[in-house]
Structure formats: structure tokens, C-alpha cells
Amino acid sequence: MFVHASIRDRFVEALRRRIAAAYGSGMTSPYLARIVNDRHADRLGGLIADALATGGRIIVGGERQGRALAPTVLEAIAPEAAIDHEEIFGPVLPVLTYDDIETVIGRINARPKPLALYVFDRDRARVDHILAATTSGSAGVNLTIVQYVHDHLPFGGVNNSGIGAAHGHHGFRTFSHERAVLQNRFSALPLVFPPYSGRAARLIRLAKRFLG
């Protein structure tokens, strides 16, 4: 998540309070989901460890017991950290501060196109600029995930994040093949097949006159 430097502290504190309200601290919450298997839990643990080894810091969470991983917020992520290049698929959120939105747009466009892009802003002109200057499979403004469950919106990626779109009529079109079938009943094409003499030559001259 890219957060403007002017609101970074307020954002982190609000996020800390929200996580505590929903899950408590550490491993205490009965609502804390488990990672699907040990392999993915170890993968997430490895991403966090690599982020810390390259200069990152944990500002919320970080505790782990087996496949239980507390919601974790990281900051000071180095460009070479693996978590800055891989899809996370877990309760880990890197927070990156910025001063100029063009820097954010440049970073997004320098990477493989994302499956989804979420923009939180009250400035409609800035939202429109971000959406126009980037490409993603889908986008949400002041919300997340909801575009995935909307009955009338296609869900899918673009380039690296996927090809085609699912859901409703869009899914039917994506996962079906329209077979083209054409029957020859009254085709005039044989009239212009070689040898080019007689009627064929006259038709060719007439076509050249009209087509220039």
C-alpha cells in the first residue's frame, strides 16, 4: 500500500487500532484464520524474514504459531526485498510512503500489470488520473474486493495477471468458443478466378475503375 508521507503516521495508527479491534493482539483472537497449509505459512514467514533482513521493519503484528500468522504491517521495504516483487496472498501488508503520485504511477507501470488496483482518495480528478495512467485487471475506488463479487462486472487480469474475464455473461464468452461457419450458396468469387479473360477480365476492369 502506497501512503502519502503527510498521513503516514495517522494511517498506521488507525490501521493498528482497527486490527486490534478486529483480532486483538498477537495470537489471541478466535477469529484469526489459518494459512491454508504449512508450505504457504512457511512461504509467508520467509517473505517477512527476507524483508527484515533487507532493512524492513514490523510495525504491527509479526507473530506466528504454526499456520497462524497475526495480521502484519511492514515498512521500509527495500526494492530488492522479495515481498516487493511477489504476490503475497496472506495477512501481510507492506506500507510504502511517497510524496509525488507520479512516483507511485511509475512504480506500478514498471512492474507486471496487477490483477486489481485500489485507490482511496476524495479527489476525483486525482482518482481519474491514476486510473487513466495505469492498467490493471480491475480497479476499486474507496473499496476493496467488492468488484470481484459484483454480478455485472467482469473479473480477470491483463497480461501477466491473466487473460480473459469470468463472471456472468463475461465468463460465458471467455470460456466458450464461437465457431465461425460460412456456407457457399451464391458466391461470385469463381467469376474472378484465372484464367483472366472474357467475363473475368471485364469484371476486373470494372472493379479497378470503381476502386481506383
- The region of weakest confidence among 28-32, 82-86, 126-130, 137-141 is 28-32
The rounded mean pLDDT for the chain is 91
First-last CA distance in the chain:
59
pTM of the model: 0.78
% residues pLDDT > 70 (the chain)? 99
Report percent pLDDT > 90 for the chain: 64
Per-residue three-class SS string for the chain: CEEEHHHHHHHHHHHHHHHHHHHCCCCCCCCCCECCCHHHHHHHHHHHHHHHHCCCEEEECCCEECCEECCEEEECCCCCCHHHCCCCCCCEEEEEEECCHHHHHHHHHHCCCCCEEEECCCCHHHHHHHHHHCCCCEEEECCCCHHHHCCCCCEECCHHHCCCEECHHHHHHHCCCCCCCCCCCCCCHHHHCCCCCCHHHHHHHHHHHHHC
On the question of pLDDT at 164 being above 90, the answer is no
| pLDDT at site 160 | 86
Question: And the C-alpha cell for 181?
Answer: 461457419
Looking at residue 209, its pLDDT comes to: 85
CA gap 204, 14 in Å, rounded = 77
Strand-strand pairing, 64-65 and 68-69: antiparallel
Facing residues of 68 across strands?
34, 65
pLDDT (0 to 100) of residue 197: 76
Confidence of residue 27 (pLDDT cuts 50, 70, 90): confident
Please report the pLDDT score of residue 168 as a whole number: 85
More confident residue, 41 or 151: 41
| pLDDT computed for residue 121 by the predictor | 96
Domains of the chain, first to last: 2-174 (3.40.309.10), 182-212 (no CATH)
Residue 22 one-letter amino acid: A
Average pLDDT over residues 184-189: 78
Q: Can you give the pLDDT at residue 143?
A: 95
| Lowest mean pLDDT, pick from 149-158, 165-174, 189-198 | 189-198
